Amino acid sequence: MPDGGSFIGGQSFPALVLNADFRPLSYFPLSIWSWQDAVKAVFLDRVSVLNEYEAEVHSPTVSMRLPSVIALKEYIPSARRPAFTRFNVFLRDHFACQYCGDHRPTHDLTFDHVIPRSRGGRTTWENVCTACGPCNLRKGNRLPRECNMLPRQTPRQPTSWELQENGRAFPPNYLHESWRDYLYWDSELES
């Protein structure tokens, strides 16, 4: 396998990973692999290289340019039921408080039980929603009808496809120019 110790120079050269249909495996977090994993997958013939960095990696016998975009040769179907995690609840709700509509960074968001746990509410997709701190505090242990605070969208279990679509609205901080075609093509077609 190539030895890449010498060429890195502070850059990490991540590869964007597309499914076999040339859409990102995941939009948010964006599916990216380290160059080491990407190169390994190329050698194992599991991916096609669609674009490359200028940087090269050398072994005693081979030199190759580092892949910047790769596509899996075998299609991976997404899980039908997404994991019930705080992150996925925020993603379902577009990182917006479901009471006042404010968009906030993750660390300012909380996880609100629509029917409070103290009133028998359970921790399920159907009973939790994203709330900002002030709204969560204001709602307290009251039922929605007692405080006239109803989530803007009735909480429910999203499909993996819906989460994927929501994630498209959140481009990552690092974007190599060769990734853009694969990330924004379909949204530009729609507008």
- Residue 99 CB, nearest distance to Zn ion (Å)? 5
Query: Which CB atom, from 99 or from 179, has the smaller least distance to Zn ion?
Result: 99
Q: Shortest gap between Cβ of 93 and Zn ion (angstroms)?
A: 11
Q: What is the DSSP string of the chain?
A: --B-TTT-TT----EEEE-TTSSBS-BTTB-EE-HHHHHHHHHTT-EEEEEEEEEEEE-SS-EEEEEEEEEESS--PPPSS----HHHHHHHTTTB-TTT--B--GGGEEEEESS-GGGT--SSTTTEEEEEHHHHHHHTT--HHHHT---SS---PPPHHHHHHHHTTS--S---GGGHHHHHHHHHHH-
Cβ distance to Zn ion smaller for residue 35 or 99? 99
Residue (144 or 171) nearer to Zn ion, CB: 144
| x/- track of binding to Zn ion for residues 79-118 (CB under 5 A) | ------------------x-xx------------------
Query: Which x/- pattern, by CB under 5 A, does the window 118-157 give for Zn ion?
Result: --------------x--x----------------------
What is the contact surface with Zn ion in residues (CB under 5 A)? 97, 99-100, 132, 135
